[in-house]
Chain A
């Protein structure tokens, strides 16, 4: 694994919450790389620091010490606005729930990052993404008119639309039934295979992890193992 092959990486990343007796070390000097064009799953029990790791490498939270890079940009020194631009232009997000702005319809939600950046929508690519998530006939609907699975697929489409360096998905299937979960994971898998997208997914669900190329296990803020997965894709 060479550095140039990593979409995202972290070196000695440490995150500490609180002080004194209430001091909690969420991340304890984590070194990790997420490869380009791969779906990496971060797994671990509750409180293992997997979400914190994602937040720190995705520019949503600031590490206490250590460094993190998205591509060749180092996050730790960036001001809030620069970090925001980075998220907008180079990172896609799918959260567990409440991913969408309720006043915007599906199309407007999908294109929001481009809108915020003042960029034109690449119609051809948008068509590819929309057909992939199967939402062509739902574009004019508001989130409240969509099912949970459809809402998560809109969120995925939004994450892909700006062709980001990496898509972070935080328990994307946490609020979905098994059928919708399978659909969503299948879609994330296809985005890696067909579009060459890099995806980092935080999950505690082994089924979800079975869609990954690589699985990183965290416990007590440290990486305990990193293994190539047998890609099921089913």
Chain B
């Protein structure tokens, strides 16, 4: 029996090739995910970790580790060397004269030592005050090499020009270490970074003895870890990060596999339908139902096995390629393939194929033996009733869940329910897709019948001939497209929300002075420097701190934003929903906070001993938070957070000139500020689209598959069509139009479902009403236009096959 099946498969490689593609791509994605996360864990955990440490002593928060402690530790028995590590603020000025934002500047500088922390890629270690060594990536970012002069910035904000003498890569120990960008010789490091060590590294042979001696010598409160413990910590952290990456990627691999399952299930349905008579014959000569069913499942398993084998190989290659092209922070990349990767690949490949083929196997086994005798052996038409009922139930449940949680006040539970409702609705659409196919395509078919040519008529009718098949093909496309559109909708909604909020708060001609390192806090002394620039009309420096306040005898906590009273309406223009924007008369409270904490206009608040009336309520803002007070009424602590200074009146060139000598400060216009908010979002969306592409590609092969098998089924029909006068190009055109109809239907479903899904997602994320969404026009147009292209491309091969149909053979097939 199995032999008969295998022969049959070998005899018709074309029929199964597309299914194989679906399995291969799905498995390859899963395996590549595994390889990439394994390799990442291995790269971080082993290759770039230190093994030369005996122990590390870190200080608790309020105690400093100084040279005295280091010397005491160095004197301990077994300790060969004790090195105090200084960590402090340092960053390298980029070619454009400003700081890059890729490093943690607070931990960007350290003292050079001869330990395994540093591996020189070129040059030597710094030996005097004018010399530095730079970390590989930092040097590359700033365009610096050995011998060039680097501008280095410390906490004081004044750049110093130094000579680059070496380029190094950095090795870490423990969980929390960050790669520094700059290394100085010890004396310079002490002068620039302070004399308190972040930790002291101890070297020697007996780790446990050294660690316990160190604990004993310093007393409690100091954190002492052996080198082995640090390695474990680091490996754990690497594994956790890898697991996060793996889970993230697996979610997308799962989507691709789901699309693949539709393709596989559809193929098997068609393969079984085409072999109805073959099965009937088997049954007639004595095969039991179970034997037929097993035969089909065996075929699926063999196909899954073959697909998984190719998929595993492709996945490992893909993983390797990914590790080669993703940017790394100067670390040596390790390519690791754990046994789990191929194992999971095979498991997924075989399981997915067998599960997808199960329904077809059962139907094949249900063929009555007598069907072997008839001329037109066909499977009984399956009823759509159960599927439709299930779809309607799921749809109702989804709608109820979404509607129930559509209110503005969102708890985590409500978010979860809303999201689950949206996903249930998404599944319901898949269940209802055959019904929807009829609902959408029958009116189209009527229209085409009246207006269209014979070719269009045939194409549309063929597309709705088997709504289940068309629905399965379109659903595979829909899965990927719906998610692309949903994320695009969320992205567009978030972007327009943020853009709207910022454009409301910040007038178009206001300029922004902020840290070169994104949203880091800047020094309050800058405010005076800004005010001194010629032409400045108004300056707003919203400085935030978290404080307690009293309202009607009760204590609350909230963010207090100190702001210049004269800046409202000039440098910043928040929406005042009630009262006036006059900080000289009292404070402003955000409407949302006022509602939550029961504050009304005219109430008095006591903040840090100062009592003031609430004179106004302001709307949603990205710039002002909590309670806004007059800066002169409540002068902020110098350590409070100041994200940016907003300036009106000054020219861009004047501000640029004023901060030309400050690499740590940049001047932005409103568009630049918007970009700071939206660029990371666009980047994240780009990655998500790329990952979802796999699902769409698999689905495209599904369209090819459906068409190719349909063409095969319709050999006689095409023969008659040709005999009565259809040219080859007409046959090709009709297959192509059918393909475009199916793909466009998939596109419409995907875009429709995606927008609704995205609407719920953005509601769940930012709490705006569901239909207060922004339609991502470019993505929607791209998806629909892309589906037409997909339809044309997917039809290329099937249409050629159809056009080559031999008329005589076709009409002779009785």
What would 18 A/B residue contacts be, using CB atoms closer than 8 Å? A55-B808, A60-B723, A60-B808, A81-B728, A87-B725, A88-B725, A96-B814, A99-B720, A102-B465, A103-B458, A103-B461, A103-B462, A104-B458, A108-B454, A113-B724, A115-B453, A116-B730, A118-B453
Cα-based distance from A116 to B811 in the complex (angstroms): 19
Query: Nearest residue in A to B730 (C-beta to C-beta)?
Result: A116
Q: With contacts A103-B465, A112-B454 known, is A98 near B720, CB below 8 A?
A: yes
Report B456 CB to chain A, min CB distance, Å.
11
Q: Is B727 touching A112 in the complex (CB atoms < 8 A)?
A: no
Check B537 for interface membership: any CB of A closer than 8 A: no
A-B contacts, CB under 8 A, total? 70
Interface size band for B: 20 to 34
Chain B, 706-735, contact with A by CB distance < 8 Å: what is the 0/1 string? 000000000011001111111111100000
> In chain B, residues 454-470, which have Cβ atoms closer than 8 Å to a Cβ of chain A?
454, 457-458, 461-462, 465
Chain A, 31-71, contact with B by CB distance < 8 Å: what is the 0/1 string? 00000000000000000000000010000110000000000
Question: Given A61-B807, A81-B727, A87-B725, 18 more contacts at CB 8 Å?
Answer: A60-B808, A80-B727, A80-B728, A81-B729, A84-B726, A84-B727, A85-B725, A88-B726, A93-B723, A93-B724, A95-B720, A97-B814, A100-B720, A104-B457, A115-B454, A116-B724, A116-B730, A158-B724
Check A101 for interface membership: any CB of B closer than 8 A: yes
Report A's interface with B, CB cutoff 8 A: 55, 60-61, 80-81, 84-85, 87-89, 93, 95-104, 108, 112-113, 115-118, 158, 170
Q: Is B457 touching A108 in the complex (CB atoms < 8 A)?
A: yes
Report B161 CB to chain A, min CB distance, Å.
78
**CB-contact partner of B720 in A80, A85, A88, A101, under 8 A:** A101
**CB-contact partner of A87 in B461, B462, B723, under 8 A:** B723
Query: B730 contacts which chain A residues (CB < 8 A)?
Result: 116
Cα-based distance from A96 to B811 in the complex (angstroms): 9
Query: Nearest residue in A to B813 (C-beta to C-beta)?
Result: A98
Q: Is A89 touching B725 in the complex (CB atoms < 8 A)?
A: yes
Cα-based distance from A98 to B728 in the complex (angstroms): 20
Cα-based distance from A79 to B151 in the complex (angstroms): 77
Report A76 CB to chain B, min CB distance, Å.
17
Q: Is A98 touching B716 in the complex (CB atoms < 8 A)?
A: yes
Report B747 CB to chain A, min CB distance, Å.
23
Query: B722 contacts which chain A residues (CB < 8 A)?
Result: 84
Query: A84 contacts which chain B residues (CB < 8 A)?
Result: 722, 725-728
Query: Nearest residue in A to B465 (C-beta to C-beta)?
Result: A103
Query: A112 contacts which chain B residues (CB < 8 A)?
Result: 454, 724-725
Q: Is B720 touching A116 in the complex (CB atoms < 8 A)?
A: no
Cα-based distance from A19 to B730 in the complex (angstroms): 34
Query: A87 contacts which chain B residues (CB < 8 A)?
Result: 723-725
Q: With contacts A55-B808, A115-B453, A115-B454 known, is A101 near B717, CB below 8 A?
A: yes
Query: Nearest residue in B to A159 (C-beta to C-beta)?
Result: B724
Query: Nearest residue in A to B453 (C-beta to C-beta)?
Result: A115
Q: Is B725 touching A116 in the complex (CB atoms < 8 A)?
A: yes
- Pick the most buried of B458, B725, B726, B728: most chain A CB atoms within 10 A of its CB: B725
Query: Nearest residue in A to B724 (C-beta to C-beta)?
Result: A113
Query: B811 contacts which chain A residues (CB < 8 A)?
Result: 95, 98, 170
Query: Nearest residue in B to A142 (C-beta to C-beta)?
Result: B461
